[in-house]
Structure 1
Amino acid sequence: MKLATLKNDTRYGELVVVSRDLKKYISASSIVGTMREAIDHWDVHAPQLQALSDQLNDGDVAGKDFDPTQAMAPLPNPSQWADGSAYVNHVELVRKARGAELPESFWEDPLMYMGAPDAMLGAHDDVEVGSEDWGIDMEAEIGVICDDLEMGLSSEAAADKIKLLVLLNDVSYRALIPGELAKGFGFFQSKGATAFAPVAITPDELGEHWQDGKVHRDMLVHYNGDAFGKANAGVDMTFNFPKLVSHAAKTRHVAAGAIIGSGTVSNKDSDGTPGKPVKEGGLGYSCIAEIRMIETIDEGKPSTAFMKFGDQVRIEMKNDDGSSIFGAVDQKIVKFG
């Protein structure tokens, strides 16, 4: 089942069911009005939404043409947005670039920060930024939307709480991060609004490519029209989604509608070395910071610039036949004001 939220004259949009090929949609208003209402009472609404999805995909009901530019974030008002760092390869490179050792605990306990649940962008919304000096970067990630989580939830139990998957761009301001972290209190200004691909999908839509709580598909990133990354999201993922969800609920109950992110998708090359650029036959990168880290390690300083006003990023996942699974995040960096 694939779901989206279309823009209307309300803050939280209209929930719609989208066909598997992303060409048609039908309103879910006869069942439930918004994605948040649906996830708050998932056991009630999911079977009805699935039935409507089956009818749409089988051609039993006529749908309207789906326009992804009219989509909001699939869940515009999550109960919270928490982002992990499941790809320790990425974290290891960050620390190595600044000459710091990676603590052994990083391989056993996930990193996670609380983001801004009120700053969710649609796939084609511009990223408004105050200054290029902030060090503008994209981060291509997978996220999960969860049902209610009980405090102390085990990883095994957490697997059943994952109801939907989303594709996202976790916008980061790299030049602001060091100053914030130096205060010892974590990210706040360093993280911008988060953008989401047009549709959220139930895990079964991935078939065999949803295994062990991981999405085994390539994360395709294009930067200003050029191939920038194609890392496989199921490879080098140290902590799977059930582990991340369990981590989020360790010390408190978490309300339905929480989005938990994977962190930047990152792969090593087949020989175990940091990834090479796509143009050199490598798997590339899901963020600019990673190639800058590798340049720093190899050359003593980075040579790739962060994003500028007018730059475009496209993030997508595709099926074996080349069809888009979530639709694409396709957005431009623009100056605010």
Structure 2
Amino acid sequence: MKLATYHDGSRDGQLVVVSRDLAQAHFATGIATRLQQVLDDWNFVSPQLEDLYATLNGGKARHAFPFEPQRCLAPLPRAPQWVDAAAYPSHVERLRRARGAEVPADLHEVPRLEQRASDALLGPRATPRFADADAGIDFEAGLAVVTGDVAAGATPAQALDGVRLVLLSLDWTLRHAPPGLLPPAGAFAPVAVTPDELGAAWDGGRVRLGIHVDLNGRRFGRVDAAAGLAFDFGRLIAQVARTRALRAGSIVGAGAASVADAGSGFTCLAEQRALEVLEHGAPHTGYLRFGDTVRVEVPSADGVSVFGAIEQTVAAYVA
């Protein structure tokens, strides 16, 4: 099924069920009002939402209405935690080699994890605001999952069983930020999907679909989300669980999607700049400026948008 959260003036928004083609929606009122409620009581609540989803897709939901992505918050507007990984070795290798830094010998063996802010996640049409246009404003497009409760010490297979939803994310970062400055809040596509909704594209904790990134209306990247992934989501969640349990609603991301073949483009500016350094000795692609627009989307095999699109325009803080 596909789920979204409409802005209603509250911090957590109102849960809606969205049709497979993203054309129609229906409030989940009477079943659950917020996505976190569903995650906290998944086995009881999700079957009821599945019934509503089937009714909606069958055209028989009496109170259905046109789905409006611009009304959406992040599917989970605030989460217990968000852990992001560097699960694509080619991304890490390019950035490190361009800096003249050593590439870790165990890059393909141990996932690198980073704790990100999860208390105020951005919706797909929110405006990311920054204080300094010269701070190296960059983005990283990738996929993430939302878990149920996962016990500390869970195996990768057990961890994969804990995946409840799959998300499309757009992390914001400042490449020239001074030491000690935390990364900005990240954004998510309007719709979260259950793994079964992906069909054959959900393959052993990998999503075998392409992430499409456009910058200012021009093609920037068409990157296969599975091709360069060194660690599936079961492995990534299990890495988090080595030191602590995960509570329902935890988000675990794979980081900026990347493949060794640069011909497919990139999902962040830093990697393109790194390739330019390696090939030409210096970067010629600039970081984002105020007014630049990034659009990220994942089409299914038949061309239908899976998660809906993230489309955001970089802006300055308003005094």
Q: Which runs of 5 or more structure 2 residues have no equivalent in the other structure? A: none
Partners of 2:266 and 2:78 lie apart in 1 by 29
Query: Do structure 1's residue 305 and structure 2's residue 286 form an aligned pair?
Result: yes
Map 1:92-171 onto structure 2 (within 5 A).
92-171=93-172
Q: Name the aligned partner's letter for residue 256 of structure 1.
A: A
Amino acid corresponding to residue 115 of structure 1 in structure 2: R
The aligned amino acid for 1:201 is V
In 2, Cα distance between equivalents of 1:70 and 1:207: 27
CA contact (8 A) 2:86 2:255 kept: yes
| Residue 119 of structure 1, CA deviation | 2.6
Q: Distance in 1 between matches of 2:252 and 2:302?
A: 29
- Verify the 8 A CA contact 1:174 1:190 in the aligned structure 2: no
Shift of the alpha carbon at 1:304?
0.3
Instruction: Tell me if the contact between 1:95 and 1:101 (Cα under 8 Å) persists in the aligned partners.
Output: yes
Aligned pairs (5 A) from 1:152-301:
152-176=153-177, 179-180=178-179, 189-269=181-261, 275=262, 282-301=263-282
Q: Could you tell me how far 1:101 is from its partner in structure 2?
A: 2.3
- Structure 2 residue 40 is the aligned partner of structure 1 residue 40: yes
The answer on 1:2 being equivalent to 2:40 is no
The aligned runs of 1:48-87 (5 Å cut-off) are 48-62=48-62, 63-87=64-88
Matched residue pairs, number?
317
Question: CA contact under 8 A between 2:85 and 2:112: conserved in structure 1?
Answer: yes
Secondary structure of 1:301's counterpart equals coil
Per-residue CA distance 1:159-215 (angstroms, 9 max, x = gap):
110010000100011111xx53xxxxxxx6341111110000001111111102100
Distance 2:165 2:31 in 1: 18
DSSP-derived class of the 1:106 partner: coil
- Counterpart Cα distance in 2 of 1:98 and 1:334: 29
| Gap runs ≥5 in structure 1 | 181-187, 270-274, 276-281
> Equivalents in 2 of 1:236, 1:319: separation in Å?
19
CA distance in 1, matches of 2:65, 2:25: 5
Letter in 2 for 1:12: D
CA contact (8 A) 1:71 1:198 kept: yes
Partner Cα distance (1:214, 1:173) in 2: 28
* Identical residues among aligned pairs (%): 40
The residue identity in structure 2 corresponding to 1:55 is T
Q: TM (normalized to structure 2)? A: 0.98
Q: Determine helix, strand or coil for the equivalent of 2:4.
A: strand
- Kindly provide the amino acid, as one letter, of the partner of residue 197 in structure 1: A
Q: Which amino acid aligns with 2:297?
A: E
Secondary structure of the 2:308 match is coil
Distance in 2 between the 1:98 and 1:77 partners?
35
* Secondary structure of residue in 2 paired with 1:139: strand
Which one-letter code corresponds to 1:27 in the other structure?
Answer: F
- Deviations along 1:102-150, one digit per CA (max 9) or x if unpaired, are 1212211100111101130110011111111211011101000000111
Question: Residue 32 of structure 1 aligns to a residue in which SS?
Answer: coil
Three-state SS of the structure 1 residue aligned to 2:110 is coil
Distance in 2 between residues matched to 1:67 and 1:210, nearest whole Å? 26
The 3-state SS of whatever aligns with 2:170 is strand
- Normalising by structure 1, we get a TM-score of 0.92
- 2:22 matched to which residue of 1? 22
Q: Distance in 1 between matches of 2:203 and 2:145?
A: 14
Q: Partners in 2 of 1:220 and 1:9 — Cα distance?
A: 31
Letter in 2 for 1:310: G
